[in-house]
Structure 1
């Protein structure tokens, strides 16, 4: 059984818990070390070995880098409680720096894996800061055997350009072992009098909130939008106030993953898969969790033209791709949404193979085997520009 030490920037991130579960499903023994974000409670991850390295704050990359430097300096002390891992998986750049320090602690250096699921805006700047950040990343990647990323666009637009070790693509599919039932689009069961859009997960795009608010006000009760998940309050002037003032927006708070997904998505006709948080950069390249969650449970995805999300659904022949989120575009889309078209769009999603959206045990085994044997592996992912 390979031993994995998972270094993470945010112990409270639900995605961290899911990745740990995937490693364990794949046959690995897992320990974790990382930072707690802001005032989040202590981690309750189901692991015997959890090392908390300190506190970091949302949206403050330089503070996180400083905390990581301090943690790396102290590594000989806090790593004493850990057994030597076969593999160190470092989630994000700052944790990759910590991994470099840990390699020198044990007599036999573990394999190092860099998990990079987003390309931070600092990495894409065309100035001295951006150049310095990329140079730092390249230095840290000298001892990396494989990179994990979640979208082909990250490979095409970043790693293929700036250079990287072999890349292993792990999409943001739903990981739900034991979940027996999945949702379905309500349009397949009845003829709706109200169209419902769901925007779930990491809520961080103020342009989306404004667009959806304006859209529902125009339709005066014939359209409703449900929001659920974790809003990035630093990105909104007044998220909760804006929702309360809007008569047709509803925020349901956080939800349990994966237990609540079928009910959540079965209550809406469409899933909003648009994000302007890092417009022109990361937002255009990522394949968000809500895309996979929504399609698995029958929701019709709405994507923005030119994004990787749009390419994904266009390849499958599902969903709706729009040129922008102006009120003119959105109103025209939904005023033209006949019952027949709605039902056909829902049927197209329902006809897809669930394996496109659902991660199951064989993929977890493949992932662990790939990481634990990565010292001898060759490049396995080639993505056309």
Structure 2
């Protein structure tokens, strides 16, 4: 059985727990080390060994840098808790820096894998800081055997220019073992009016909030918008003030993944898959979780022209692509959505192969098999798969 040591920047991140579950389902033995965010509880992961390196703070880059340097300096102390892994998977750049030091603890260094699912704005700066960060990344990538990333646009717009190692695409598909049921667009059950739009997940785009609030006010009940998830409050002038005062837009709190997905997406006709958080850069290149969650459960995606999300739904022949989110554009969009047209869009989404949006056991086995081959280890589940 392949042994994987997973280094992560946030032990309590639900996405980390999902990746651990994927690797375990694929046939790997997983151990983990990483930081914990100050506002998060201690990690509750079903693993024999979980090592917390330090506590870090969200949006405090200097503090996180110092914590990374400290963990890198002390690697011989905490690294003794682990026997030699076959592969070290480092999630994000700071963990790759730590992985380099950790790999030197053993006479035969483990294979290094870099998992990068977002391109931070600092990496894209065109000043001395940005150039320095990219140089550091290039240096750390040299002995790395494999890159795991979630969108082809990250490769074409960034990593191909960085001289990255061979890459494998691991999309943000829904990973929900034991939850085989999926949702259904309400239009297919005759619930046509009002049109309901869902914006779920990481809520961090002030432009989207303003646009959805404005169009729902203007249409005065013809369109209702519901928000669910965790708002990044520092990105909004007054998130709760705006949502509480809105006439036809509401914030319904957080939701349980994957338990609530079918129910919350079955309650909306459209999923808002637009984000201007890092406009023209990361936001244009990513394929967000809500895209896969929504499409799996029948919601019609709305995407912005020129983004990877728009290219994704255009390849599948589903959803709606708009040139901008100006109020005039959104008014025209929703005013044109007759019940018949909404049902037509919903039928196209519902007809898609669910494997396009949901990660199954075979994909987990394939991923672990690829990691095993990097280390020259025979993947136990490859034959069974």
TM-score normalized by the length of structure 1: 0.96
Structure 1 runs (4+) greater than 6 angstroms displaced? none
Matches within 5 A, 1:1-385: 1-374=1-374
Measured in 2, the distance between the counterparts of 1:138 and 1:299 equals: 40
Measured in 1, the distance between the counterparts of 2:367 and 2:95 equals: 20
How large is the RMSD of aligned CA atoms in angstroms? 1.2
Measured in 2, the distance between the counterparts of 1:248 and 1:39 equals: 31
Distance 1:110-1:167 versus aligned 2 partners, 3 A rule? same
Measured in 1, the distance between the counterparts of 2:215 and 2:19 equals: 36
CA contact (8 A) 2:211 2:325 kept: yes
Measured in 2, the distance between the counterparts of 1:21 and 1:77 equals: 28
Is 111-120 or 172-181 further displaced after alignment? 172-181
Paired residue for 2:382?
A: none
Question: Aligned-pair distance for 1:375?
Answer: 5.1
Deviations 1:56-111 (A, max 9, x none): 22223333222111111111111222222111100000000000010111222111
CA contact (8 A) 2:10 2:37 kept: yes
Is 41-50 or 181-190 further displaced after alignment? 41-50
Distance 1:326-1:270 versus aligned 2 partners, 3 A rule? same
Question: Aligned-pair distance for 1:156?
Answer: 0.4
Question: Aligned-pair distance for 1:239?
Answer: 1.3
Is 315-324 or 6-15 further displaced after alignment? 6-15
Question: Aligned-pair distance for 1:43?
Answer: 1.1
The number of residues matched between the two structures is 377
Question: Aligned-pair distance for 1:376?
Answer: 6.8
The answer for unaligned runs of 5 or more in structure 2 is: 378-385
CA contact (8 A) 1:111 1:372 kept: no
Question: Aligned-pair distance for 1:256?
Answer: 1.1
Measured in 2, the distance between the counterparts of 1:367 and 1:45 equals: 20
Question: Aligned-pair distance for 1:211?
Answer: 0.7
The answer for unaligned runs of 5 or more in structure 1 is: 378-385
Measured in 2, the distance between the counterparts of 1:134 and 1:39 equals: 30
